[in-house]
Amino acid sequence: MTRVVSAVIFLAVILGLTVGLHWFLWARLVRDPGWGEPWSRALGWLFLGLGVLIPVALILGRFIDGPVARVLSWTAFGWMGAMFYLFLVVLLAEIVRWPLFLNAQDADRRAFFGRLLALVGGGGALVLSAAAVSQALRALHVKKIEVTLERLPPAFDGLRIAQLTDIHVGPTIRRAFVEEMVAKTNALTPDIIAITGDLMDGSVAQLREHVAPLADLKAKHGVFFVTGNHEYYSGVDEWIAEVQRLGIRVLRNERVAIGEGFELAGIDDYTAHQFGNGHGSDLPRALAGRDPAHELVLMAHQPRSAKEAASFGVGLQLSGHTHAGQIWPWRYAVKLQSPWVEGLYREGAMQLYVSPGTGYWGPPMRLGTQAEITEITLRSGMRTA
């Protein structure tokens, strides 16, 4: 599937959802309550304008940059998140609305109940949205975990990996965020930095300035990167070249020796084969000829690679992609695609860590989740004499 076709399908889905959701919200919050003129007309135009803004901002954000584009993006993505919570609250309010609506004997009482539920729904959505924005814009959190690997040589006991993932530099995440992330990561003095995909949302030309601080990342054994699905929406080959220019090693279905008995591997995104041009997840290629007695950590953007990785004897897989649902209750929808949503799991003899992400996608919101830089300390399970 080409990049253009993928973009067209994505925009078509967004447009369909946008139209349907805005019609539902307009019907429940404007038409049914009957606010009277000029309020009904003004609210109707407001919903229409906000509905048009979402696809316009998504399209323009790919071609233009600057203050106007950023204002449009912040407004569109902010409304996208608020709209979700407004839809959720109004949908739940339907449970209350229908008995009241059906038992009301006249149009005035029905309109009263409609206005009451509209105000309650709008207030509830506003509170949830404000809480979600506050959580998303908090200072970056460092999460520390320990993972014991049975084949890890004792010489590597205590080795620390800093995982960054799903940063999504783009319309609302800019250079200042990247600078803060780099400073906090370097302060950990990690042995390895692993960036597991979805670094950006936009072209190299638009975002080169904003990802430039990544060149300052420092780790004893190097900084490594694998592609996520969003790299393929943003010009993957150009981004691979740019990431390499910043001094970061891109692992494309390959592995590197960190030292005697310990290796790091990385594979293309799980869906990369759809984009052709030599891209596609190829774990057998990455692990060809390896010594199974050596410990191996795999960087794979999507946790859906876990079953195959476990069958190949990988010790630990580092993934992201899920955002842990990002805004509650989306984590339950994520579970329909992947049983691995957030945290440390076991898949056979292999362990899998799924980060909730270091940034966010789309709405500048998080609720029930927290963005993180993950510091993973490896412990040797080998017995020493």
Buried-exposed string 262-299: b where 16+ CB fall within 10 A, e elsewhere = bbbbbbbbbbbebbeeebbbbbeebbeeeeeebbbbbb
3-class secondary-structure state, position 320: coil
- The tokens describing 135, both together, are 């959580």
Cα-based torsion angle of the residue sequence 94, 99, 100, 102 in order, rounded to the nearest 10 degrees: 110
Strands 295-299 and 262-266: parallel
The token pair that represents 184 in the structure block: 């906090």
3-state helix, strand, coil in the chain (%, to 5): 50, 15, 35
Closest CA to 313 of 194, 151, 161, 153: 151
Q: Which of 377, 375, 372, 376 is nearest to 141 (CA)?
A: 372
In the sheet with 254-259, reading across from the earlier edge strand, the strands are 254-259, 262-266, 295-299, 316-319, 350-354, 343-347
Record the pTM. 0.90
Nearest partner of 91 among 173, 136, 162, 28, judged by Cα: 28
Please list, in sequence order, all residues whose beta carbon lies within 8 angstroms of the beta carbon of residue 298, skipping any fewer than 6 positions away: 264, 265, 266, 267, 283, 286, 305, 309, 314, 316, 317, 318
Token readout for 328 is 């509650």
Q: How far is CA 108 from CA 104, 113, 325, in A?
A: 9, 9, 41
DSSP one-letter code for 200: B
Q: Which two tokens stand for residue 273?
A: 């084969």
Distance from C-alpha of 18 to C-alpha of 4, rounded to nearest angstrom: 21
Query: Between the CA atoms of 107, 109, 112 and 113, what dihedral angle is there, to the nearest 10 degrees?
Result: -110
- Cβ burial of 179 (10 Å; 0-12, 13-18, 19+) is middle
Q: Domains for the chain: give ranges and CATH numbers.
A: 3-136 (no CATH), 141-380 (3.60.21.10)
Walk along the chain (385 residues) and give the pLDDT tens digit of each residue. Answer: 555 676 677 778 878 888 899 999 988 888 877 787 888 899 999 999 998 888 888 777 777 777 888 888 999 999 999 999 999 888 887 777 666 666 555 667 667 777 777 888 888 889 999 999 999 999 999 999 999 999 999 999 999 999 999 999 999 999 999 999 999 999 999 999 999 999 999 999 999 999 999 999 999 999 999 999 999 988 999 999 999 999 999 999 999 999 999 999 999 999 999 888 889 999 999 999 999 999 999 999 999 999 999 999 999 999 999 999 999 999 999 998 889 999 999 999 999 999 999 999 999 999 999 999 999 999 998 765 4
Report CA Rg, the chain: 24
CA–CA separation, 37 vs 42, rounded Å?
8
